[in-house]
Structure 1
Amino acid sequence: MARVDVRPGRRARDRRALPLLAIGLAVGLTVTAGPGWATAAPTAARVASPATEPAGEPGGDTPTADPTETEPVPTEAPSTTAPPPETTPPVATTEPAPTTTAPEQPAPTTAAPTTAAPPPAPAPSVPPVRPSAPASTPPAPAAGVSVTTDDVTLTAAYWNAPSTVTTLRVTVTNTGATPARIRLAYTLPAGLSDAGTGGCAPAGGGEHRCGEWASAPGARFSTLLRVRVDGDAWKRMPLSGSVRVTATAPGVPGVVSDNEGFAVLFPPGPPVPGIRLAADAVSFDISGGSSGLEVRLGNTGRVDAEGRIEVVLPAGVTVPTPPSGCTTVSPARTRCALGTLAAGRTAQLRLPVSATPEAQRQAPLAGAVLGQLDPRSGPTRQVQMSFRITSAAALATPVASPPAPTGSQGVLAAEAPAVSDGGGGGSVRRTAILLIVISMLLVVFALALATTSLRRRMTAPVTGPSAASTE
Structure 2
Amino acid sequence: MRSVPVSLLLILFCLVGGAPAAAEPTPTPSPSPTAPPPVVPTVEAADIAVDPGYWQGTTERFALRITIGNPSDEDAITTTDVILPPDVTRVDATPAAGCTVAGLSFTCPLAAGAKVALEVTVGIASGAWRQPQRGRVRTTARVVGDLTPGVAEDTYAVSFPPGPPTPGIGLEVNDPVLRENGRDTVELEVRLHNSGAVPARGVVEVRPPAGVSVATVPSVCTARDRTVSGERCELGRIPADQQLLLVFGLTVPAAARSAAELLGSVQATLTPAVQDGLTVQSEFHIRIPEPAASVTPGDEGDGPVAAAAEGARGANRLPDSGPIATAPVSRTLSIIPLLTAVAGAFTILVVLSLIRRRSG
Task: State how far apart, in whole Å, the 2-side matches of 1:282 and 1:197 are.
Answer: 36
Residue 292 of structure 1 and its aligned partner are, at CA, apart by 4.5
SS of alignment partner, residue 177 of structure 1: coil
Corresponding residue of 1:350: 247
SS of alignment partner, residue 157 of structure 2: strand
Gaps spanning 5+ residues in structure 1: where?
A: 1-140, 203-207, 393-471
Residue 194 of structure 1 and its aligned partner are, at CA, apart by 0.9
Q: Does 1:336 align with 2:237?
A: no
Aligned length: 245
Task: State how far apart, in whole Å, the 2-side matches of 1:371 and 1:197 are.
Answer: 35
* Letter of the structure 2 residue corresponding to residue 329 of structure 1: R
TM-score normalised according to structure 2 size? 0.55
Task: State how far apart, in whole Å, the 1-side matches of 2:287 and 2:150 are.
Answer: 23
TM-score normalised according to structure 1 size? 0.43
Q: 1:386 to 1:168 in 2, by over 3 A?
A: farther
Q: Does 1:370 align with 2:295?
A: no
SS of alignment partner, residue 61 of structure 2: strand
* Letter of the structure 1 residue corresponding to residue 192 of structure 2: L
Q: Does 1:147 align with 2:48?
A: no
Query: After superposition, where does 1:416-427 map in structure 2 within 5 Å?
Result: none
Task: State how far apart, in whole Å, the 2-side matches of 1:306 and 1:324 are.
Answer: 16
Q: Does 1:200 align with 2:97?
A: no
Contact kept, 8 Å, 2:68 with 2:116, in 1: the verdict is: yes
Match of 1:276 among 165, 170, 178: 170
SS of alignment partner, residue 234 of structure 1: helix
SS of alignment partner, residue 156 of structure 2: strand
* Letter of the structure 2 residue corresponding to residue 347 of structure 1: L
| Deviation per residue, 1:141-167 (Å, 9 max, x gap) | 983422222111222221233982111
Contact kept, 8 Å, 2:161 with 2:283, in 1: the verdict is: no
SS of alignment partner, residue 190 of structure 1: coil
Q: 1:298 to 1:361 in 2, by over 3 A?
A: same
Contact kept, 8 Å, 2:205 with 2:231, in 1: the verdict is: yes
Query: After superposition, where does 1:69-468 map in structure 2 within 5 Å?
Result: 143-161=39-57, 164-198=60-94, 199-202=100-103, 208-211=104-107, 213-235=108-130, 237-250=131-144, 254-280=148-174, 289=184, 291-302=186-197, 305-313=200-208, 317-326=212-221, 327-338=224-235, 346-354=243-251, 364=261, 367-374=264-271, 379=275, 382-387=278-283
Which structure ranks higher in relative contact order (CA pairs < 8 Å, sequence separation ≥ 6)? 1
SS of alignment partner, residue 176 of structure 1: coil
Contact kept, 8 Å, 2:51 with 2:59, in 1: the verdict is: no
Task: State how far apart, in whole Å, the 1-side matches of 2:83 and 2:185 are.
Answer: 27
Structure in which a larger fraction of residues adopt strand: 2
Tell me the percent identity.
Answer: 30
Contact kept, 8 Å, 2:210 with 2:262, in 1: the verdict is: no
Contact kept, 8 Å, 1:318 with 1:331, in 2: the verdict is: no
Contact kept, 8 Å, 1:275 with 1:298, in 2: the verdict is: yes
Residue 340 of structure 1 and its aligned partner are, at CA, apart by 6.1
Residue 269 of structure 1 and its aligned partner are, at CA, apart by 3.4
Task: State how far apart, in whole Å, the 1-side matches of 2:262 and 2:101 are.
Answer: 24
